[in-house]
Chain A
Amino acid sequence: MTDTSGTAAPAPGASKLRWLVVAIPYLWLVVFFLVPFLIVLKISFSTYAIAQPPYEPVFDQLSTVWERAQQFTLDSYRYLTEDPIYLRSYLSSLRIAAISTVLLLLIGFPIAYGMARAPSNMRTTLLMLVILPFWTSFLIRVYAWIGILKPEGLLTVFLQWIGIFGPDQQVHLLNTDWAVFIGIVYSYLPFMILPLYATLEKLDDTLLEAAADLGARPFKSFWVITVPLSMPGVIAGSFLCFIPIVGEFVIPDLLGGSDTLMIGRQLWNEFNANRDWPTSSAVAVVLLLILVVPIMIFQNYGRRTAQ
């Protein structure tokens, strides 16, 4: 190994220290991130232990499952292909994530653009205002929408008050896909705005001036210069939103209807309600396989921007 930590000669004990610096986080991630995945993989190839009494002490049940996990089988994966609910959930998750990402771009871009054009003393405050909801709880932000969207909720009250709705009319948005889209866009908006803003803010002013000097209309120079140059932010923001949305659980569970299929929710139910560990492991493995390409693109992107 070569010493890249500077021009100074390595002091005695430096290499041991360096070894420790690398080893501690490395080992932690191997034990608590990599190994658990291998276990999921292993369990997904094992048999489901049915015929449990309604409820047993958790630990007995868990150890039984673990013993059964020793035999190798593809049953869980076969089960995933046999029950159409899984294929439909995967496709529906991808569809919801794709539509949400496009919506996030359409809504996030003008906001990020406005922030980048704001005077610099205002920009810090605006940035703070975007970051603040990002720090407040995801669950709370989703919960806030239930009170607004439910049939006797605030949206209905508001629409009745301004007279668009009659006193007996109600909005029926909660427990539909629409509510899921609203919840996702609301929760992920800061994740989209921040990378967009980061690229837009750095955009070279002189290019736009040159375009204007050459006679380009503002709208044209926006499409020809601003949009292409903001692509890194568009890509980063899109992946940052798309990947976790595919596996989203809280939003479809609280805002979606019983017919809102999303694979994160399926996995959760399989695990918590049906107690079918091999199948939920197989669901997780397949989900990971679907996401591995976008995750790798995102990682390459992250490494490149980091360097």
Chain B
Amino acid sequence: MRKGLSWFNVTSLTFGFVFLYLPILILVVFSFNRSRLVTVWAGFSTQWYGSLLNNQQMLDAAWVTLRVGVLSATIATVLGTLAAVTLVRYVRFPGRTLFSGMVFAPLVMPDVITGLSLLLLFVAMDVARGFWTITIAHTTFTMCYVAVVVQSRLITLDRSLEEAAMDLGATPLKTFFQVTLPLIMPAVVAGWMLAFTLSLDDLVLANFTTGVGATTLPIKIYSQVRLGVTPEINAVCTILIAIVSVGVIIASIGVKRREAQRIRDERLAATGG
């Protein structure tokens, strides 16, 4: 691609990013509004953040969301990494087509279908719905994202390092943990982050699979939004946006550093230095 921006490129980039960011920016700005009205600016205030701290329901919902997110993202990362290894390394096994189908389908499957089907499964199994059923639902759909992210890293991986380890007598398990896993770690971390934010974000699956006493933040926000736009919701949303943005930026800087380190190491190893 020939580099250099024409005026057309600059215009479309400017409009594109204004379009992407302006609504979020407005939302953040009005979370600091003194007035209860979300459209009239009445001076700076952090009172809505203060009132959030006293909103026990909101805090409970945040705590449930956080636990579901961490737990489901962790299980999904393990399962998704295994699935990626399976897809990339085991070219032939019975039912491979079905397997790869089940890995890719949830990426585009409308969440109303996934949610409904999981709920009916939990009803059929007669399990009490709540924290664990939401966690299972989130694990199932986020592990596919992890699998895709890790898979793309595994494909580009230099196999000779693993082969060298095996030739030197390392068991497959040891090879995986000491050679393969460190090499794919940036992708695994990115997969975890993706799984965590997807879980944090999900409304439909959570609403289908939830039970008494397990209200997640999106469910709470959704029920409030239906009643109208309030500065408290703006404040909750701003906190969520801040957490996710800081997390993503730190992770991407970390991944970039580690990647640079890896390239340096490989170069060093190659030159025997």
Contact flag A139-B218 (CB < 8 Å), given A28-B143, A110-B16? yes
Task: Check B118–A136 contact: CB distance below 8 A.
Answer: no
Q: Mark each residue of chain A from 259 to 288: 1 if its CB lies under 8 Å from any CB of chain B, else 0.
A: 000001001100100000100110010011
**Chain A residues near B106 (CB, 8 Å)?**
33
Q: List 13 A-B contacts (CB under 8 A).
A: A10-B172, A14-B172, A40-B120, A65-B123, A110-B8, A145-B23, A147-B38, A153-B39, A247-B110, A280-B116, A295-B108, A299-B104, A306-B87
Contact residues, A227-268 vs B (CB, 8 A): 239-240, 243-244, 246-250, 254, 264, 267-268
Given contacts A21-B82, A107-B16, A240-B108, whether A136 and B116 have CB atoms under 8 Å apart is no
In the complex, the number of residue pairs spanning A and B with C-beta atoms less than 8 Å apart equals 291
**Chain A nearest CB, measured from B13 CB (Å):** 4
Interface members, chain A 2-55 (any B CB < 8 Å): 2, 4-8, 10-11, 13-14, 17-18, 21-22, 24-26, 28-30, 32-37, 39-40, 43
B46 at interface (Cβ–Cβ under 8 A)?
Answer: no
**Interface size of B in residues (CB-CB distance below 8 Å):** 103
The answer to whether the Cβ of B48 comes within 8 Å of any Cβ in the partner chain is no
Instruction: Note all chain A residues with C-beta closer than 8 A to B126.
Output: 63
Is A74's beta carbon under 8 Å from chain B? no
A67 to B79, CA, bound (A): 34
The chain A residue sitting closest to B91, CB to CB, is A4
- B268 cross-chain contacts in A, Cβ below 8 A: none
A153 contacts which chain B residues (CB < 8 A)? 39
Is B134 close to A, CB under 8 A? no
Q: Does A87 contact B (CB under 8 A)?
A: no
A244 touches B13 (CB 8 A): no
**Interfacial chain A residues near B249, Cβ < 8 Å:** 128
Shortest CB distance A297–B (Å): 11
Instruction: Report A-chain residues with C-beta under 8 Å of the C-beta of B120.
Output: 36, 39-40, 43, 277, 281
Chain A nearest CB, measured from B192 CB (Å): 13
Cross-chain contact A143 with B105 (CB below 8 angstroms): no
Q: Which residues 83-107 of B have a CB within 8 angstroms of A?
A: 83, 85-87, 89-93, 95, 98-106
- A203 with B1: in contact, given A32-B118, A146-B229 (CB under 8 Å)? yes
A200 within 8 A of B: yes
A10 to B17, CA, bound (A): 52
The smallest C-beta distance from B233 to any residue of chain A, in angstroms, reads 7
Residues of the A chain whose Cβ atoms lie less than 8 Å from the Cβ of B148: 302
Interface size class of A (residues with CB under 8 A): 35 or more
A68 at the interface (CB under 8 A from B): no
Q: Which residues of A contact B (CB under 8 A)?
A: 1-2, 4-8, 10-11, 13-14, 17-18, 21-22, 24-26, 28-30, 32-37, 39-40, 43, 58, 62-63, 65-66, 107, 110-111, 113-120, 126, 128-133, 135-141, 143-148, 150, 152-154, 157, 186, 189-190, 193, 200-203, 205, 208-209, 239-240, 243-244, 246-250, 254, 264, 267-268, 271, 277, 280-281, 284, 287-288, 291, 295, 298-299, 302-303, 306
Tell whether A128 pairs with B102 under 8 Å between CB atoms, given A117-B2, A136-B244: no
Contact between A249 and B163, CB atoms less than 8 A apart: no
A158–chain B nearest beta-carbon distance, Å: 10
